[in-house]
Structure 1
Amino acid sequence: MSDETVLITGCSSGIGRATAEQFLDEGWTVYATSRDESDIADLDESGCRTATLDVTEDDDVARVVDRIEDEQGGLDCLVNNAGYGLYGPLEDIPAEKLHDQFDVNVYGPHRLTRAALPLLREAEGTICNVSSVQGRLSVPGAGAYSGSKFALEAMSDALRAEVDPFDVEVVLVEPGPVETNFQDRAATESDSLVPGTEYDWVYDSIEDATTVSGSLPIAVTPAEVATTIHDAASVSEPDPRYPVKRFARLAVATRFLPDSVRDSVFRLVRRFA
């Protein structure tokens, strides 16, 4: 059993929910949050402490962190998990939708990190940012989502060096396809765009990916990602990055290919789409 405390965002389903359950099973005090607290009522019944938290709202962030300080006196781990994917050709994505993507996936973790760092410094705790293999490798149609995850990775690298003197750890968890409803939200966001006729092949690729990626043999379960997150939070000297399982490690490694090779692959995809 542990006497440590963790704050997790985006716990309504998928990785966030599995992570809350994993930490709870290991004896942590778990603050599980979601935009709609009714979505996590069962986690409250299971023993988590639940709260409404929209990562785009400063007041929500401050309220939850203040509550943890009042009730626990400290915080040992922050898991920035809340996020979603906006897919589509960049020409078809309005600036306000791109802003919304960054508001959740980039500014949200930044808000939580700023609010929680005073407690994490005192505890010599861990910040775990849930990224993606698409935070290291960008493909056609994923410019907005990959851009947000690339930004999260860059910020995490800078932050890791900045908080090193305080013995605060910063880690990135990088799953590939996961068996969650992430693809459903991504498909909905893509459908909300007003497509032109220039990028039919990109939309076809997005549709294929969002339809099958969660059911592919290479897809991992939310529980496997949750285990990786918990393990990273539980060691004294975690690795900076944790690609989840073999496919993620291979996908991340493709960033070392020359740009011309990757561009050639995309041309082949376009030709056969």
Structure 2
Amino acid sequence: MAKPRVILITGASSGIGKATALKLQAQGNIVYGAARRVEKMTDLAAAGVHVLKLDVTDEATLVAAVKTIEAEQQRLDVLINNAGYGSYGSLEDVPLAEGEYQFKVNVFGVMRLTQLVLPIMRAQHRGRIINVSSIGGKIYQPLSAWYMGTKHAIEGMSDTLRMELAPFGIDVSIIEPGGIKTEWAGIAEKKLLEVSGDTAYGQQARNVGAMLSLFDTFASNPGVIAKLMVRAVNDVKPKTRYHAGMGAGVSLAARHWLSDRQFDKLMNQATVGAAKLAHFARKDAKRAGSRHYRHG
């Protein structure tokens, strides 16, 4: 019987991270689920997952988490860098401090934790690092410069890591989710409208916000990406990239085949179309509510 792997996954308090931790634990692995909100991980602890309090922007918690795993298990086989968030708004409107924090969470936190686990993996001469990017690491849309910038950075840095770590038996893979039903879209939409909803970029903000709000209706379940993550952990020869979720394949294909200007036009049409769809959905809901009031 294969030896269970020791796995650390960040952002395990909700959504994709939580679903992945549970699936990997169910397979008999030794899973450490890490996040800031430990109170959101009682179900993970009940399932046998080792719960760690970790903030990817806090050096002390990063060091403590790695030391805990090393002391308890004497090894670490897989690191899944899943923690992250989306900060939307026009470049002109988003405060620089917010842009810096977006990079601190989505890029520097990922790379610092990777730095800390690499000595363990090199000593083992084996390991697997899985970085969660996004289709936003390959495409783009208006009012998302900081967020898309972080994901483009993760893509490039992961490709570099894959080559420099190969001699030590360490694999690096990237997960590129499409539209997924998590807290992410709601948080991104809220920040977008707060920052740019009443500025010169207001109409664009409402259009992009409408696209984000539609995720709750059409987006894929987090389990779709959790299943993909498990594949990335278990594949004997892991792929360099995995993608799934609403619109992932179509978006990546469009970016590959269309020119920059053609893709610009497509994205603009998509955001305007989302705004119209959201408008009609609100009208339908209002009419339905009116009918219920009259006949209730």
TM-score (norm 1): 0.93
| Higher deviation after alignment, 190-199 or 255-264 | 190-199
Larger Rg: 2
Q: Aligned partner of 2:24: which letter? A: F
**2:14 alignment partner in structure 1:** 13
Q: Aligned partner of 1:177: which letter? A: G
Identity of aligned residues (%): 36
Separation in structure 1 between the aligned mates of residue 152 and residue 171 of structure 2, nearest angstrom: 19
| Higher deviation after alignment, 154-163 or 122-131 | 122-131
Which aligned pairs between 1:85-234 and structure 2 lie closer than 5 A?
A: 85-121=86-122, 122=124, 124-193=126-195, 195=197, 197-216=199-218, 219-234=219-234
Separation in structure 2 between the aligned mates of residue 117 and residue 144 of structure 1, nearest angstrom: 28
Residue 123 of structure 1, CA deviation? 5.2
- Contact kept, 8 Å, 2:207 with 2:272, in 1: the verdict is no
Residue 2 of structure 1, CA deviation? 4.6
Separation in structure 2 between the aligned mates of residue 16 and residue 29 of structure 1, nearest angstrom: 15
**Larger RCO of the pair (alpha carbons < 8 Å, separation 6+):** 1
Separation in structure 2 between the aligned mates of residue 115 and residue 178 of structure 1, nearest angstrom: 30
Separation in structure 1 between the aligned mates of residue 169 and residue 103 of structure 2, nearest angstrom: 28
Separation in structure 1 between the aligned mates of residue 269 and residue 93 of structure 2, nearest angstrom: 22
Separation in structure 1 between the aligned mates of residue 234 and residue 206 of structure 2, nearest angstrom: 42
**2:247 alignment partner in structure 1:** 247
Q: Aligned partner of 1:33: which letter? A: A
Change (3 A) 1:62 1:269: same
Matched residue SS, 1:252: helix
**2:32 alignment partner in structure 1:** 31
Where do 5+ consecutive residues of structure 2 fail to align? 276-296
- Contact kept, 8 Å, 2:77 with 2:128, in 1: the verdict is yes
| Root-mean-square deviation (Å) | 1.8
| Higher deviation after alignment, 79-88 or 229-238 | 229-238
- Contact kept, 8 Å, 2:193 with 2:205, in 1: the verdict is no
Aligned length: 271
Change (3 A) 1:200 1:162: same
**1:81 alignment partner in structure 2:** 82
Where do 5+ consecutive residues of structure 1 fail to align? none
Q: Aligned partner of 2:105: which letter? A: V
Q: Aligned partner of 1:60: which letter? A: T
- Contact kept, 8 Å, 1:6 with 1:77, in 2: the verdict is yes
| Higher deviation after alignment, 146-155 or 122-131 | 122-131
TM-score (norm 2): 0.86
Q: Aligned partner of 2:225: which letter? A: V
| Higher deviation after alignment, 191-200 or 17-26 | 191-200
